[in-house]
Amino acid sequence: MRMVGRRWACVIAAVLTVLAIGVSVAGAARSGDFRDEFTSFEVRRWVKVDRPFGHGRIDSANVSVANGLLGVRLPAGRLDGAEVRSTSLYRYGTFRARMKIANAPSSLTAFFLYKKPDYAQEIDIEIFNDSTGRVMFSTYSGSAQTNSEIVDTEYDLSADFHEYTIEYDPGSVRFLLDGTELKRFSSGVPRSSMYLFVNAWFPFWLAGEVPTTDRYTLVDWIEHTGR
């Protein structure tokens, strides 16, 4: 009886060891998952960017965190903007952000994946910062823009917070607004790890109307769930 008991004890121990290893491996595979609710600016996760861009420049001084919101400012009297970039590279998975875009016509708010060089790999949600409800979805791969389409959501996206989602899989990408799919591309999709960005800026291909007061894109939270 003692021998049987010892055998069962060994079997149970082996099973528990396998389960523990499985949990450990699963945890390691999901170690890049996060949800940032911006109680502070997490420097281990985000970088404030400075660079010339569009009609003006991206200025790190225009990034702030207050009252649980990331503020991306378009300052009065200028055509400058702001940008944050993840410190880590991400590949396939789901990327979500709950944002209220700035009301600053002729500027954009973007939630996107990108890694240099230009045109090599990029997946974009670009929201027109006005009341028209237009959103542009684009991909870049192999030194070219491979997909681009503007969708009219029929919402004033500057009036309230909305959830924007990129679902990035091998060979396809889906874009969702408040859980509803607006666009899907199944060709021309990059297959690379990229950095995650949020910015607001004045592109050359829009008129460049200077805001008379400070305008803000506000980010409630951002999360990533890997595949």
Are 12 and 55 within one domain?
no
DSSP the chain: -HHHHHHHHHHHHHHHHHHHHHHHHHHHHTTT-EEE--SS--TTTEEE--EEETTEEE-GGGEEEETTEEEEEE-TTS--BEEEEEEEEE-SEEEEEEEE----TT-EEEEEEEESSTTTEEEEEEEESSSS-EEEEEEEETTEEEEEEEEE-SS-TTSS-EEEEEEEETTEEEEEETTEEEEEE-SS---S-EEEEEEEE--TTS--PPPSS-EEEEEEEEEEEE-
The per-residue pLDDT for 14 is 43
CATH number at 80 reads 2.60.120.200
Within this chain, do residues 9 and 93 fall inside the same structural domain, yes or no? Answer: no
| Same domain, residue pair 60 and 110 | yes
Check whether 73 has a pLDDT greater than 90: yes
Q: pLDDT value at position 31?
A: 59
Q: Which domain holds residue 136?
A: 34-226
Query: Is 67 found in the same domain as 12?
Result: no
Q: pTM above the 0.85 mark? A: yes
What's the pLDDT tens digit per position in 81-130? 999 999 999 999 999 999 999 999 999 999 999 999 999 999 999 999 99
Looking at the structure, tell me whether residues 13 and 64 fall in a common domain.
no
**Tens digits of residue pLDDT in 129-188:** 999 999 999 999 999 999 999 999 999 999 999 999 999 999 999 999 999 999 999 999
